[in-house]
Every structure is written in C-alpha cells, then in structure tokens.
Amino acid sequence: MHLSTFTDYSLRVLIYAAARSPRQVSLTELAEAYGISRNHLIQVVRKLGHLGYLENTRGRGGGIRLGKDPATVRISEIVQATEPGFVMAECFQKKRGANRCRLTPICVLRGALADATQAFLDTLDQYTLADIVVNRPQVLALLGGADPPPAEQPAA
C-alpha cells in the first residue's frame, strides 16, 4: 500500500501543528520545516481546515493551529479523510463501469485485500495524533521549530 503525497503531507502538517500547539504556525514555517513547496501546503491546509482538523487564519499574521484535541484525532480517520478513494484494487471501485474484472463475483483475493485493508486501518486506529507527537522536543528539534529556552529570572 502506498499513501498519496497529499495524505503524507496532511499527516506531516498535523504532526507539526500538534508539536507546536497551542502556538499558531505560518505556512512559510511549515514549508521550511519540511522542505515542501508552500503552494502544495496551501491545498493541504485548506482541506484540513475544511475537515476541522485545523483552524486557519488568513492574511497578515495568519497561520494555522490545531482545530481539535490531538488526543481525539485518530490517524486512521486522517488517512481515510485525505486518501482519494481508498481502494486497494479495481474491484473495489464503486463508480459504475470502473471495475472490469470478470472474477469479482467469485474472487477470493478481493476478500483477502479487504481484510488487509481493514487490518491496516485497525492498526492506525490504535494511534492518535497525541501518540505520534509524544516525542515533541525531538520532533521540533529535527524540524527546526524548537522553542527558545525560557528567559532567566532575575535574581531576587
């Protein structure tokens, strides 16, 4: 199985937003952190905002922040929401005329692929976005978004 680039970028955006939460991050910051085109990220961020995963603020001083508690966001739901069609083979196509395989009515492989897909989703369902950023300091260090050290308090 291979996830689309759109789904991959969606997961990366949410990981970064969760690691920076509750701070708002800019698209430029995201693009630089991952070395991804800002134009590609605009489409991803727009979709994730529409789905409620992000709160998007446009204009000067705008950016993104998480729209949901990361502990409530299952990785499986992100994949299913962003992966186009989410079909393993032609025989899973629901669009009329898209499945031309003559074996579909009696195919045992189709059942095996359906089971494998469900096992994949069941595994991803065990993880939340919060689980994925449990190592938040390391995530931020690798992406260049580490928080500055706290200012020293003046001696009393």
- Look up the CATH number of the domain holding residue 68: 1.10.10.10
**Is 115 buried (19+), middle (13-18) or exposed (0-12) by CB count in 10 A?**
exposed
Residue 49 lies in a domain: yes
Token pair 């390391």 in the structure block, residue? 138
- Total-model pTM: 0.84
Mean pLDDT across the stretch 77-103?
A: 80
Residue 103 lies in a domain: no
Q: Which two tokens stand for residue 139?
A: 């995530």
Residue 39 lies in a domain: yes
Residue 107 lies in a domain: no
In whole angstroms, what is the distance from residue 57 CA to residue 75 CA?
24
What pLDDT sits at residue 41?
A: 95
Domain span at 132: 5-85+128-143
Residue 37 lies in a domain: yes
Q: Measuring CA to CA, how many Å separate 56 from each of 101, 127, 141?
A: 43, 24, 24
Name the DSSP letter for residue 45. H
pLDDT digits (tens, 9 = 90+) for 36-65: 999 999 999 999 999 999 999 988 888 999
Residue 113 lies in a domain: no
Residue 99 lies in a domain: no
Residues 9 and 82: beta-carbon distance below 8 Å: no
Residue 15 lies in a domain: yes
pLDDT digits (tens, 9 = 90+) for 98-141: 777 888 888 888 889 889 989 999 999 999 999 999 999 999 99
Half-sphere exposure of 90 (CA within 13 A, CB side): 10
Positive or negative, the Cα torsion across 41, 47, 50, 53?
negative
Helix or strand run (H / E) with residue 54: strand 54-57
* Structural domain total, the chain: 1
